[in-house]
Every structure is written in C-alpha cells, then in structure tokens.
Amino acid sequence: MAMLGYAEIFIAILSFLFLHLWRCNRNRNSLFTNWPILGMLPSVLYNSSNLHDYLTHALKQHGGTGEFKGPWFTNMKCLITCDPLNAYHIFVKHFSNYDKGPEYHEIFEAFGDGVFSADGETWKRSRAVAQLMFKEKNFDLLLERAVQKKAQNCLLPLLDHISKQGMVVDLQDVFNRLTFDTNSSKVMGVDPNSLSIHFPQVACQIAFDQMVIGWLYRHLVPRSFWKIQKWLQIGQEKKMTRACQTFENFLRESIASKREEQTKCTSNDAEELHADLLTELIRDEKSTGKVDDKFLRDTAFNLFVAGRDGIAVGLTWFFWLVATHPLVEAKIIEEINEMFQPQERNLMVFGVKEVKKLVYLHAAMCEALGLFPPLPFERKHAVQSDILPSGHLIKRNEMIVCSLYSMGKSEEIWGKDCLEFKPERWISKKREILHVPSYKYMTFNAGPRVCLGKDLSIIEMKMVASSILWSYRIEVMEGQHISPSISLGLLMKYGLKVHVGKRDL
C-alpha cells in the first residue's frame, strides 16, 4: 500500500482540528475552547493578564456555571460556578457531601489538621476550639491592643516619614508587613517587626510568602510534576521545603516560649500574660486536659493565615477604591468628623467601640470586599455524585470551584450597577447595615464553614483604615496598571504605589 503523502496527512489533521473545535464550541458546558491534547489551558494562558474578569465574562455567557478541562495527560478538571443557588446547595444545604478532599490536604499539608484544611471529626474539633476562643470576653481587647499598638508605634510614624520625605510607597507591601506583625502578636505573642521605616527583610515573613507561592504552584502544575520535584528536592519544591522549615522553627520557638512563660507565671501576673491566642490555648489545658504541641501548632498556623493575607489584601483594594472615588472618601471623613470632634484627633487610632459606630465606613468595607474578595475562589470535592440546581451532574470525587470574584460582579445578585463601587447599597433607611445571605456574599465563606472571625476582621480593617484616613490623604500614582494577580489571594499584580500627604485639620 502506498504511504499517504504529507499533503493528505496535513489535510486530515486540519479536518480533525476543525471538527473537534466545532463540536467543543457547541458544548454549552465548556467555559473555554477545548483544544486537542492541551484542553482549555491555552485559553487560560492567553487571558492570564485578566483571568478573573475573563472568567467572569465566560461564566455570564454560560448561565453562571461551566466546565474547565486541562491537558489530556493531566487530571486537571473541575466545574466552575458563580450561581448563588449552586453555592447554597454546595456550602449550606448539602454541606456534608462537599469537603476539602485529599488533593487539597496534599497541597496545603502545612496547615496540618487545622480548621481550614481538615474534614470530618478533625475539623469539628478544631472548629469548636476556635469558636470558644472567639467567644472569649477579652478577645476584642486582645485585637484592640495588638492593632492600636502597631498602628501607633509603627504604621503612623512610617506614613508620617513617607509624607515628609515625599516618597512613593507600595501600600500593598505596607499592609502585608502590618498584618504579618499584628497577626504574629495576636496569635503567638511575638512581633517580628517587619514594618518599619527601613522595610527590613525578616526571615519568617519571607518564608511565609514563599510558602504562598508554593501553594499556588501546586495548583498550576500537574500533581505528579510537583510530587516528583518534592521527592527530588529540586525547583519550586526545594524552595517550599526550606520555607516550611524556617516558618516551622518560628512556630516551634513561639510555642516553647509560651509554655515556659506559663510554668513561671503566678496568679498575680497571669492576666498580664493572657495576651495572645497561643497563651489562651495553653492555659485552657487546666480545664480541657493536656494539649499536644501539634494541636497548638496547627491551630496557631491556621489562625495566623486566616488573619494575615485576607486583611492585607482587603485593605489594599479598599484604599485603591476610596482614593479613586473622592465622593466616597469625603463621606467617610464626614462620618468620622461627626462621630469624633477635632479635639479628639489625639486619639490617632480608634478602638473597637469607636469604629463600631462608623456605619458608612463599614458599608464601604463590605462593598470593597465584595468586588475584590481576598480569596477569589473556594474549592470543594464531591464525596458522592450529585446534581446541582443548575442541572449540572457532579461525579464522585469531582472538584467544584466557586468563583467569589465573579459572584461579586453578578447582575443577578447585585443588579445592573454591580460593577460600581457603591457603599450605599449596604445601608438601610434606618442607617443600619443590610443583611445579605452568606451564599450570595461569600467573601467570608458560607454555611457551617463561615468565617468565625468575620466581624473581627472587619473591625480590624476599620481600625486601620480610620486611623489612616483620619490623618492622611492617599493619592494613587498615575500611570500604574492595577489588576489582580494570579495568586491564591487577590493580590494586586504590581502592588499599589501611592503618595501620602497629611490631611488638613
């Protein structure tokens, strides 16, 4: 038999590609063009510079739910949704059928058995411990002390220095350092002092940021690829191992230090040492029995992560929105002036009771967190097969990703002005914050896993924001490109470069 010529082979390949693309484009469930061999990955890579907005547009075109399929040789496949009815089904009504899953535990192994990565009974135990801590009567005081001390001694002096020198500063970097220090103080009773005029390189902070990069990397490459790298200790996984060891040492030393403090403290100075969550857990041993170091480590790590990146990312987007919406900024300043007279300006950093009175600021925070949720995705793993309200079949062990970013820009939920920065949508006629069901506003998750620190996180953000806006004007540098990065948290891709000026009295 004569062999086919090159022309015939080329025509056959083109015909196959045309037929395949034609069939895929007719598939209403596919979010992107499904290429031979490479799957939908080329579409994602091509639109990587504005992936979140591109995905939001694609979901809108597909009724809020669609499939993503990676290259044929990988197991990269999931259903993506921003449908609030699907979210309610997954995160609330059928919560027990959707857990984190084994792959999630592998990727985030550093979380151990903490509240964010655990499932089943382990999760229930960690959740119960965290819930008890958040209900403590002095928890507000713990937060207030940490934030006020750091803002008064470091943040405001730094902004004053920047203002006097006429410098340009990356506000995202400032907030990353601020929340790293305050969360270390709140959770472990240790201040790494990463926030100062000199912007020092602190080992444990660098290690944590490298771990975040490593977690993202494990999401982007096939599981077998990063597993081999980990086994051989090469590439990104080698950096991950070193970062984990550095941060692990930081946690171990903090736990050992707190245990030693507790053995030496007397009843007279116990209250003075009662100043961080790690101390709380160790002191609870008297009533709950011995708490092993692994449990302390996992709990401390999970609570630290919860309070660090979310607040830093939220503050960065909030200040960009406020600085580019002068009418909103004017209303925030007007509210602060109405609540606190100019002679009270020496307060500098308002406390928990003061910021609770700031309704418009609260609304602006909610609006910013909805438009730019610190965690843009929530992923789940189906325990058993199921059918979503949208009609999509979910197979056993299939991954579902809920796009919180897309939900925050959904006309179905927020109306035709969904893309506007409009704090007024959150305020009732009685000047109270309107309630929105968590499955429609998933910035703090929904259902049984809803964030226990939701209210405290907003309070902390209001304390930081009010202290800055009370004394300083933030002006965003012109010409910089503001867009979300492809990261686990919704960081700004190039940071937020700003000028800082003293506000007129």
Query: Which residues, including other chains, have CB under 8 Å from residue 255's CB and lie 6 or more apart?
Result: 188, 278, 293, 296, 297, 300
Structure token pair of residue 439: 């499955």
**Confidence band for 296, pLDDT divided at 50, 70 and 90:** confident
- Model pLDDT, residue 269: 53
Residue 282 has pLDDT above 70, yes or no: yes
* DSSP annotation string for 377-416: EEEEEESS-EE-TTS-EE-TT-EEEEEHHHHTT-HHHH-T
Cα–chain center distance at 369: 10
When the pLDDT of each residue in the chain is averaged and rounded to a whole number, the result is 86
pLDDT digits (tens, 9 = 90+) for 215-252: 988 988 888 889 999 999 999 999 999 999 999 999 99
CA dihedral (266, 269, 270, 274) positive or negative = negative
pLDDT digits (tens, 9 = 90+) for 385-415: 999 999 999 999 999 999 999 999 999 999 9
Q: Give, in order, the Cα–Cα distances in Å from 215 to each of 49, 105, 182, 267, 453.
A: 20, 11, 23, 43, 23
DSSP H helical segments within 114-233, as ranges?
120-134, 139-150, 156-165, 171-188, 203-220, 223-232
Structure token pair of residue 297: 């480590």
- Model pLDDT, residue 8: 54
| Run of H or E residues at 238 | helix 235-264
Residue 15 has pLDDT above 80, yes or no: no
**Confidence band for 337, pLDDT divided at 50, 70 and 90:** confident
- The answer to whether 243 and 207 are in contact (CB under 8 A) is yes
Least confident of 158-162, 296-300, 345-349, 353-357: 345-349
- Model pLDDT, residue 154: 93
Residue 4 has pLDDT above 60, yes or no: no
Q: Give, in order, the Cα–Cα distances in Å from 432 to each of 216, 236, 291, 435, 444.
A: 39, 48, 42, 9, 20
**Confidence band for 342, pLDDT divided at 50, 70 and 90:** low
pLDDT, greater one: 188 or 9: 188
- Model pLDDT, residue 82: 96
Q: What is the mean pLDDT of residues 474-502?
A: 92
- Model pLDDT, residue 25: 47
Cα–chain center distance at 484: 12
CB crowding 66-76: b at 16 or more within 10 Å, else e: bbbbbeeeeeb
Q: Give, in order, the Cα–Cα distances in Å from 295 to each of 41, 189, 302.
A: 39, 17, 11
Cα–chain center distance at 287: 34
Structure token pair of residue 219: 């999401």
Going by the DSSP 8-state scheme, the letter that residue 429 receives in this structure is T
Q: Is 27 helix (H, G, I), strand (E, B) or coil?
A: coil
* DSSP annotation string for 256-303: HHHHHHHHH--TTTHHHH--SHHHHHHHTHHHH----HHHHHHHHHHH
Residue 63 has pLDDT above 50, yes or no: yes
- Model pLDDT, residue 1: 43
Residue 2 has pLDDT above 50, yes or no: no
**Confidence band for 488, pLDDT divided at 50, 70 and 90:** confident
- Model pLDDT, residue 288: 56
- Model pLDDT, residue 266: 59
Residue 22 has pLDDT above 50, yes or no: no
Percent over 90 (pLDDT), the chain: 54
- Model pLDDT, residue 299: 85
**Confidence band for 273, pLDDT divided at 50, 70 and 90:** very low
Q: What is the mean pLDDT of residues 136-161?
A: 86
Residue 73 has pLDDT above 80, yes or no: no
Query: Which residues, including other chains, have CB under 8 Å from residue 59's CB and lie 6 or more apart?
Result: 31, 65, 66, 80, 81, 82, 403, 406
pLDDT digits (tens, 9 = 90+) for 158-213: 999 999 999 999 999 999 999 999 999 988 888 999 998 889 999 999 999 999 99
Bridge partner residues of 35 (DSSP)? 39
Q: Is 79 helix (H, G, I), strand (E, B) or coil?
A: strand
Alpha-carbon distance of 276 to 183, in angstroms, equals 10
Cα–chain center distance at 106: 19
Q: What is the mean pLDDT of residues 319-342?
A: 91
pLDDT, greater one: 465 or 7: 465
Q: Residue 357 — φ and ψ, nearest 5°?
A: -80, -15
Q: What is the mean pLDDT of residues 95-117?
A: 88
Q: What is the mean pLDDT of residues 309-316?
A: 93
Query: Which residues, including other chains, have CB under 8 Å from residue 107's CB and lie 6 or more apart?
Result: 215, 218, 219
Residue 26 has pLDDT above 50, yes or no: no
Q: Is 125 helix (H, G, I), strand (E, B) or coil?
A: helix
Residue 141 has pLDDT above 60, yes or no: yes
Q: CB atoms < 10 A from the CB of 32, how many?
A: 21
**Confidence band for 343, pLDDT divided at 50, 70 and 90:** low
Residue 329 has pLDDT above 80, yes or no: yes
Query: Which residues, including other chains, have CB under 8 Å from residue 178's CB and lie 6 or more apart?
Result: 150, 151, 154, 155, 195, 312, 464
State the residue for tokens 């305050």.
182
- Model pLDDT, residue 3: 46
Structure token pair of residue 448: 């049984």
Residue 293 has pLDDT above 70, yes or no: yes
